[in-house]
Structure 1
Amino acid sequence: MEVKNKYVAIKANINGAPEESDFEIKVENLSHMFEPESKEVVIKNLLVSIDPYQINRMKSQSSSQTSISYATAITPGEVIDTYGVGRVLVSHRPDFKKGDLVAGLLTWGEYTVVKEGSLLNKLDPSLAFPLSYHVGVFGFSGLAAYGGFFEVCKPKPGEKVFVSAASGSIGHLVGQYAKLLGCYVVGSAGSQEKVNFLKETVGFDDAFNYKQETDLKSALKRCFTQGIDVYFDNVGGKMLEAAVANMNSFGRVAICGVISEYTNASTRAAPDMKDIVYKRIRIQGFLAADFMPVYADFLSKTVEYLQDGKLKTIEDISQGVESIPSAFIGLFNGDNIGKKIVKVADE
């Protein structure tokens, strides 16, 4: 049996903003990977996740590359792993059989050879939702939103919550979880379309276009006349500085991502440390994998919210392996609303 696998690779390390010329489409022959003693599972990829953190793996050097196995450096020319959903094509393991739908660490390509010990789970057939939900709201994006908000921020009903990059894959879920708890929620986004989406579609109390604000501290003061209790940070940089300046005593900041800093080191945040000390503000970074112990609780509650119509998840789905580079680049240009996914193949 011979399979030609088309996949996306980087030509060289990327140390600035990604461009189309940084990527290439390559083809490899997978026939040599089908040996029975290999204990490998060959997956036909159906849907794959597009996430901004991958840019840190593409750099020649980043401190993130030594933090966790999911963030290790990507070698130019090699396949790029990501979270996704697929169907088993060939299996030499008893826990998977041909035709099983699975979710786990796949690749930016048409097929993935999953080695024993890599993250791979059968999908629950009782969850009557689109397959794409398993890449987004039931995947690491949803888990990061749920765990980062409830486990890190420890929110209380009635508290004032600010979410940056609020129309993105994680932010739009965080704001809704906060509203379901009974919090006052404001989000920032980069266009009027996204501001309208936050207020009209997912129910934020208020939102603003940060690109139209000349003073972020004043913008947050306007939105939070009584101060911020919880800040869910997806941006870093000047937005983090402005949020800290407007936080109440014993405020909590959950650092999910710092997209403003990924491609421009000059935008690094410098919050007023006196505010942090005297207001006793707690700032904590996290990774979605930290919350695997609460995954069952997260999934149960999220399924219930979706079934009851209390939670909306928005997806931006592109078609085909060839669209992966432009989908990825679009994340840094603010092109997407909701979770960015590429549909590699039909079911």
Structure 2
Amino acid sequence: MNRAIERCRTVRLLTYPDGMIQPDDLTIAETGLPGPGPNDLIIRNRWFRVSISTRLMASPDAQAVEGIPFPALRPGDALADGAIGEVVACPPGSGFEVGAFVSHPLGWRDYAVVDAGHCVAVGRGPIEPAAYLGHGWTAYAALTRGIQVRPGDTVFVSSGAGAIGSMAGQIARKLGAARVIGSTGSADKADWMKADLGYDAVILRNRGPIADQLKAAAPAGVDVFVDMVGGEHLAAAAAAAREGARFVLLGALTAELNVAGASIAAPVELDSFQLILRDMTLRGYSADRDSAEGFPEWIAWQREAGLHFACSKVQGLERAPQALHDACEGRLRGLVMVEL
């Protein structure tokens, strides 16, 4: 092994958070790089994703959650998330080559030893890391496979400035939506969503009942709802649903970012009789679980779509813990990504 990479730095959970996760709940540990097995690649990470679901998985009562691609964390455990890195070493016949970029699931560290079966070749040329690490794929799959957007639809996207929402609104428009409405927590994000992401109207969480604002923004009702929040947003969308409305549920930030502690319980009251009368579809969906085979289609589609990849980028592993805290506090826009 190259002596220059005998050691690596990894972000680990130091202690369970007390409420909102804090930078001091994490630590950067320097350890020896594990010896590669016969099918392992050694990868120098260049970018990795920061997901707010990490807060949920770092809770004392965390458990495996289908659709979240990393396990529950205990103090001392290394964090992990999607990453793109450059191959430093690889076994003969692996199908990879030194110097090429690959995506893999072991971010939150500067070097990783990864089984070749968990790596996807990205290539050598200039790449858009947000296309691979961002949640545009999740939004695209949700709107083409989970449910379908039809020409002329009115689409409502909760948390429209987030990693999924910042892409979902744009993708819905490209797929034929006539009106796209989002929600967010601040006026500056609302202005940005309309100016850069093409939202027609934006609902602010702190400006009165969501249902009243949605009725004003979509007086004829909503055809499609892409939900990352749950709670009041889901109830308001259901009340505004038109006949044949399609809802795709991708997250529940009311639970994941609950100030009292992250949870996998996100209760909401819906009128099931109205769901029946309006012939509505509600689907819980995970792109990686339900449609992983479609990822190459997304990569090809986004190259032609001219999307704006909204990204909050920070430099250096040392800033990753603060980035996670800021993302969970709602201070950042779009994909949160660390560049090494």
Distance of 1:268 and 1:20 partners within structure 2: 29
CA contact (8 A) 1:234 1:259 kept: yes
Q: Is the 8 A contact 1:143 1:288 kept in 2?
A: yes
Q: Does 1:220 align with 2:214?
A: yes
Secondary structure of 1:5 counterpart: strand
TM-score by length of 1: 0.88
> Does structure 2 conserve the Cα–Cα contact (< 8 Å) formed by 1:40 and 1:93?
no
Q: 1:257 Cα deviation (Å)?
A: 1.2
The DSSP-based 3-state class of the residue aligned with 1:323 is helix
Q: CA–CA distance in 1 between the matches of 2:294 and 2:23?
A: 38
How far apart, in 1, do the equivalents of 2:18 and 2:40 lie? 34
Deviates more, 1:247-256 or 1:89-98: 89-98
SS state of the match for residue 293, structure 2?
helix
Equivalent residue for 2:143, pick from 110, 127, 149: 149
Q: For the residues of structure 2 that align with 1:267 and 1:100, how far apart are their CA atoms?
A: 42
TM-score (norm 2): 0.90
Q: In the alignment, is the contact (CA less than 8 A) between 1:167 and 1:189 conserved in 2?
A: yes
Q: Do 2:131 and 2:299's aligned partners in 1 also have CA atoms closer than 8 Å?
A: no
Matched, 1:210 2:193: no
Q: Give the conservation status (yes or no) of the 8 Å contact 1:15–1:263.
A: no
**Superposition CA RMSD, Å:** 2.1
CA gap 1:211/1:267 in 2 versus in 1, 3 angstroms: farther
| Counterpart Cα distance in 2 of 1:124 and 1:84 | 14
- 2:172 aligns to what? 178
Task: Describe the superposition over 1:71-103 as per-residue Cα deviations: whole angstroms up to 9, x where unpaired.
Answer: 322232122221111111222242223222111
Q: Distance in 2 between matches of 1:340 and 1:68?
A: 19
Cα pair distance change 1:173/1:269, threshold 3 Å:
same
1:70 corresponds to: 69
What is the alpha-carbon distance in structure 2 between the residues aligned to residue 96 and residue 124 of structure 1? 10
Contact 1:39–1:93 (Cα < 8 Å) also in 2 = no
* Distance in 1 separating the partners of 2:18 and 2:292: 31
Any stretches of 5+ residues in structure 2 without a counterpart? Answer: none
Unaligned ranges ≥5, structure 1: none
In the aligned structure 2, how far is the partner of 1:173 from the partner of 1:190?
Answer: 17
Which of 321, 327, 333 aligns to 2:329? It is 333
Q: Map residues 55-204 of structure 1 onto 2, 5 A cutoff.
A: 55-62=55-62, 65-67=64-66, 70-94=69-93, 95-117=95-117, 119-125=118-124, 128-129=126-127, 133-134=128-129, 136-139=130-133, 141-183=135-177, 184-204=179-199
Residue 301 of structure 2 corresponds to residue 301 of structure 1: yes
The correspondence for 1:20, drawn from 19, 23, 26, is: 23
Question: What residue number does 1:38 align with?
Answer: 38
Aligned AA (2:272): M
CA–CA distance in 1 between the matches of 2:277 and 2:298?
34
Q: Flag the 1:177–1:68 CA change in 2: closer, same or farther, 3 A.
A: closer
Counterpart of 2:313 (choices 295, 313, 317) is 317
How far, CA to CA, are the matches of 2:314 and 2:35 in structure 1? 29
Query: Post-superposition shift, 1:4?
Result: 1.9
Change (3 A) 1:275 1:13: farther
Q: What is the distance in 1 between the residues matched to 2:229 and 2:120?
A: 31
- DSSP 3-state at the match of 1:331: helix
* Structure 1 contact 153–252 (Cα < 8 Å) conserved: yes
State yes or no: 1:230 paired with 2:233: no
How many pairs align? 329
Looking at structure 2, the residues matched to 70 and 303 of structure 1 have their Cα atoms a distance apart, in angstroms, of: 25
User: Whose helix proportion is higher, 1 or 2?
Assistant: 1
Instruction: Assess, with a 3 A threshold, how the Cα gap between structure 1 residues 268 and 329 changes in structure 2: closer, same or farther.
Output: farther
